[in-house]
Structure 1
Amino acid sequence: MDTDFSKDAFFKFLDYLSDKNLVKFQTVRGWRSAASKLMEDLSEAEEADVRTLDIEIAVHRTANRDSGSISPKSLNTYRQRVAIAIAEFVRRQEDPAGYKPRTLNGQSRTKPTNGSSSRAKAASEPATAPKKHDKEPAHLSSGLTLSYPLRTDFLAQVVIPRDLNTVEARRLGAFLLTIAVDYQPD
């Protein structure tokens, strides 16, 4: 039997964590809220397998869809929560019998050995949470990210100023022509 990595299985996994009290209720609620926002407009492939979800593109889609109503800080929080939740989901799906949810400090729930405290162990080992960016990319607040399904298996993205004028649009179009693999100048 194939392992199910679908969006539906992902949300059932979050219910499972909450129902079994394996992760704090507030944590699961935050993961679910962030995932609901970022997973609103998924492709068929992403719906079928959340491992294929490009979280950065999902953040840009959400920023464009809810333009101005979600702060860059909130989008960054959503990005981090969804990345952690998907990582937990994948670990659970790949090894259901051996799965142990992570605690808030990013460590697996295991009892300390040889008398050392789990707090000391957590301080010595790096957490596996996604990298936190010092600055939010400028294009999230000042530019407009547009996605275009160039091919069935490729979603092209371009970030443009919100007040793009006709001259700039023509320049951008001319530039795109020059980077095509079959471009031949006149």
Structure 2
Amino acid sequence: MSPKHLAEFWMLELEESFINDLDQLLDRIESLCKFLSFYLERHSKEDLDYLREQSGNYEHGQRLSMGTYVRITHQEAVDILEQTEQFSTIRSETVNLNAQMERKLVELMGNRPVFVTEYPASIKPFYMKKNSNDKALCFDLLMPVCGEVCGGSLREDNSYVDSVMFQLVGLGLVLIDFCNH
């Protein structure tokens, strides 16, 4: 079992109705993660002690429950990675971050949890709301050791935009199709 497989099978996708600001959603997720970390420290001490013993050095747990989580845009993440020798040639703003890149970002941010936001809309699903710069209002939450543990977005709620997107992706659906169900 590797850290990748540990994160691969359990992941959280969060969205919430009537939220119009991505930071609101990120605040909720950060609070949830901090609460869960705090809860585990109080109620699963034996399990956590075992993990600390197995890993030799497990200081990451405290970073989950204390301090603020880093928030950077996808473009900022690409710019940061381009400064490293390992990823100096990525040069594309539409690059989809892979697991190696995500691990490096977390490491460069001091092994703290990192929200990467505002990915180019062209590399994300059509139903994600976009800002005026054609960036998807979405995020991935990257954690030390295991990588991405949570993702989500604001969903497009403009019925006209939805109808146009349905046409563009070949679904041929319009809003009236949903009213009959």
Tell which structure's C-alpha radius of gyration is larger: 1
Q: Which has the higher helix share?
A: 1
Return the structure number with greater relative CO, CA threshold 8 A, min gap 6: 2
TM-score, normalised by the number of residues in structure 1: 0.26
TM-score, normalised by the number of residues in structure 2: 0.26
